Amino acid sequence: MLAQQILNGLVVGGVYSLFALGFSLVFGIHKILNLAHGAVLMTGAFIGLYSVLLGLPLPVAMILAILGGGLVSVFIEFTAFRPLRNTGESEFGAIISSIGANLIIISIAQKISNTEILRFPFETFPIVIFQIAGIRVSLLQMFMAVMALALMAALMYYLMRTRHGRQVRAVAGNERAAVLLGVNPNIIYFQTFFISGALAGASGVLIGLAFGSIHFMMGEPFLLAAFAICILGGMGSIVGAMVAGLLFGMIQTLSVAYLPTGLTDAIIYSTIFVILIVRPNGLFGKAAAGVLRSQR
Amino acid sequence: MLELKNIAASYSGIKALHDVSLTVQKGEMVALIGANGAGKSTLLNCISGIVKPVSGSIDLEGVNIASVRPWKISQSGLLQVPEGRQILPELTVLENLQLGQTALSGRAPTYTIDQVHDMFPVLHERKSQRAGSLSGGEQQMLAIGRALMGAPRLLLLDEPSLGLAPLLVQKVFDTLQALNKTGLTILLVEQNARQALNVTNRAYVLEQGRIVHEGESRVLSEDPDVLAHYLGLGAQSE
């Protein structure tokens, strides 16, 4: 029973990681809190759902959701963040303008979906259950785990092993120094927001498949979770977001399984609270406070 | 090669440069000296495109670059080694050097990684260390090496001696002189006026945003006014 719950928690946590990673990436590289990130997840779920309803196969729907999420995220960067950056008023202004972008996207989704709670048609994802050493593992869980791992591995490879990834890390470290070395920061912003949105789009479809409920407000609890995960992992830390996401999913699943459901959020956030007392910068955070304080 | 005409610029709302004109010929090594806050860094940042001049023109080999984006300026081979070195501490030493190649943007390299390693052996020995773990002097070598990877046509340096021990300052200036001998054009911004005048052909003295002296470095280093204002302090501290 415990092993079963831990497995379930890890799978859910993997999706949390995937989603929180995009949020953390944007903050870690550009010091922007993108509060419209939840709306991107919802957009991904919507694109995936409507593609399936239109008769497209699930893999195609998944790819469309990833691309759509990336494009919406880039659109948010173009409309909500770039104009502020050019006026040099980016730090607080960006928080407000991303809340605005969030509201607009949610309102559009509400219109499209007629304020209904939707779900993927039955057996969009084939229901296959394996029994491995007494633990039930569904094909969907395997798919979610593989998808989360593959996307995170691809991201790590991109950041750590490619020329473009090196430029991204340079901008994260010191945007001005990177510009003096000939790095065009606008291209880096484009890439970061696209990747961040693509991860959110993929998470949206996975969450829609796993939890069976897709609606215009579905991104909000995940945005809050992503924020908590990033603080727990250390703001801007990629490894931190991954580990904290898994931890978050585990605590959530275990407390739902063994404790009264009303306590779930209380358990999650008090656990985070206790961890932060011991490690104020999060599990993998270095001078996270310094990042926030530094004037750009 | 580089010609600034009547540049005026503001920095954070304060007028930092008034009517500055300056030229650097191909193959020259030119110093720009002046006290803290004289506008030296603002001038370099105007050339690099980070600060946009209010008026005046900046020509690089006959092309006006005053309104060109900073990364385009770097990609054209006008490379700045910024004040405080600005290496990327979380990246490895080798990655910092590889990052320097970004500025090539299709142009042919003039220095290979091996050549830079020969010039600064420590960058080879520590290539897989975090750049932030290097000492100040080593970081300065890295910052210069990184700029060389981008095939500079003109190298701008902002206070390369800042915060370095005297022996290392000497080493940095020796390196710059050697680079200049191989044909690299250099514009050197320094507070350390004596050293800067020793290694350069010509120099400009910037005071409160205006050029107050210019000429051959050897002549300037004997100018009574320059001696009193810029070399006097240097002599006391030595």
Examine the domain organization and report whether B178 and B215 are in the same domain. Answer: yes
A123 lies in some domain: no
The H or E element containing residue A79 is: none
Whether residues B102 and A179 touch (CB distance < 8 A) is answered with no
Which residues in chain A have their CB less than 8 angstroms from residue B74's CB?
179-182
How far is residue B188's CA from residue B199's CA, in Å, rounded to a whole number?
A: 10
Examine the domain organization and report whether B90 and B65 are in the same domain. Answer: no
Examine the domain organization and report whether B121 and B14 are in the same domain. Answer: no
- DSSP H helical ranges for chain A: 2-30, 37-53, 58-76, 82-87, 91-113, 139-161, 163-173, 175-180, 185-211, 219-233, 238-258, 264-278, 288-293
Average pLDDT over residues A63-87: 94
pLDDT(A294) > 70: no
Examine the domain organization and report whether B72 and B158 are in the same domain. Answer: yes
Closest residue on chain B to A186 (Cα): B71
CB atoms within 10 A of CB A113: 17
The tokens for A34 are: 């993108």
Which of these three, B132, B152, B172, is where a domain ends?
B152
Examine the domain organization and report whether B12 and B42 are in the same domain. Answer: yes
CATH number of domain containing A83: 1.10.3470
Q: Which residue has the higher pLDDT, A17 or B229?
A: A17
Average pLDDT over residues A37-53: 97
How far is residue A62's CA from residue A10's CA, in Å, rounded to a whole number?
A: 21
pLDDT at position B238, please?
A: 37
Lowest mean pLDDT among A98-102, B188-192, B221-225: B221-225
Q: Which of residues 175-214 of A touch B (CB under 8 A)?
A: 176-185
Whether residues B87 and A167 touch (CB distance < 8 A) is answered with no
CA distance A108 to chain B (A): 37
Examine the domain organization and report whether B147 and B169 are in the same domain. Answer: no
pLDDT at position A285, please?
A: 81
Q: How many CA atoms lie within 13 A of A135 on its CB side?
A: 14
pLDDT(A7) > 70: yes
Whether residues B75 and A179 touch (CB distance < 8 A) is answered with no
Confidence of residue A295 (pLDDT cuts 50, 70, 90): very low
Examine the domain organization and report whether B114 and B222 are in the same domain. Answer: no
Residue B55's DSSP bridge partners are: B8
pLDDT at position B231, please?
A: 72
Containing structural domain, residue B103: 85-152
In this complex, the residue of A166, A174, A184 whose CB is nearest that of residue B86 is A174
A259 lies in some domain: yes
Which residues in chain A have their CB less than 8 angstroms from residue B150's CB?
181-182
**Number of Cβ pairs closer than 8 Å across A and B?**
65
Closest residue on chain B to A174 (Cα): B88
Lowest mean pLDDT among B8-12, B101-105, B106-110, B155-159: B8-12
Examine the domain organization and report whether B37 and B130 are in the same domain. Answer: no
Examine the domain organization and report whether B163 and B219 are in the same domain. Answer: yes
Which of these three, B130, B152, B174, is where a domain ends?
B152
Residue B154's DSSP bridge partners are: B78, B185
CA distance A174 to chain B (A): 7
Average pLDDT over residues B166-170: 91
Containing structural domain, residue A95: 2-118+128-293
Residue B9's DSSP bridge partners are: B17
A209 lies in some domain: yes
With the C-alpha atoms ordered A97, A102, A108, A110, is the resulting torsion angle positive or negative? negative
**Count of structural domains within chain A:** 1
A235 lies in some domain: yes
Q: Which residue has the higher pLDDT, A196 or B223?
A: A196
Q: What's the first-to-final CA gap in chain B, in angstroms?
A: 35
pLDDT at position A262, please?
A: 87
CA distance A164 to chain B (A): 10
How far is residue A240's CA from residue A250's CA, in Å, rounded to a whole number?
A: 15
Examine the domain organization and report whether B148 and B36 are in the same domain. Answer: no
CA distance A276 to chain B (A): 24
pLDDT at position B232, please?
A: 63
Q: Which residue has the higher pLDDT, B10 or A108?
A: A108
Whether residues A182 and B86 touch (CB distance < 8 A) is answered with no
Q: How do residues B28-87 score in pLDDT, each as one tens digit?
A: 999 999 988 889 999 999 999 999 999 999 999 999 999 999 999 999 999 999 999 999
Confidence of residue A287 (pLDDT cuts 50, 70, 90): low
A270 lies in some domain: yes
A217 lies in some domain: yes
pLDDT at position A290, please?
A: 38
A287 lies in some domain: yes
pLDDT(B10) > 60: yes
Whether residues A177 and B48 touch (CB distance < 8 A) is answered with no
B82 close contact with A: CB closer than 8 A:
yes
Alpha-carbon separation of residue B113 from B95, B152, B179, B237 (angstroms): 11, 14, 15, 38
A137 lies in some domain: yes
- The answer to whether the beta carbons of residues B49 and B75 sit under 8 Å apart is no
Which candidate in B78, B102, B153 is best for mutational testing of the A interface (most A CBs within 10 A)? B102
pLDDT at position B210, please?
A: 93
pLDDT(A48) > 90: yes
Q: How do residues A269-279 score in pLDDT, each as one tens digit?
A: 898 899 889 98
Examine the domain organization and report whether B118 and B169 are in the same domain. Answer: no
**Count of structural domains within chain B:** 2
Which residues in chain B have their CB less than 8 angstroms from residue A180's CB?
48, 50, 70, 74, 79-80, 82, 86
The tokens for A23 are: 């949020």
Whether residues B102 and A167 touch (CB distance < 8 A) is answered with yes
Average pLDDT over residues A239-253: 93
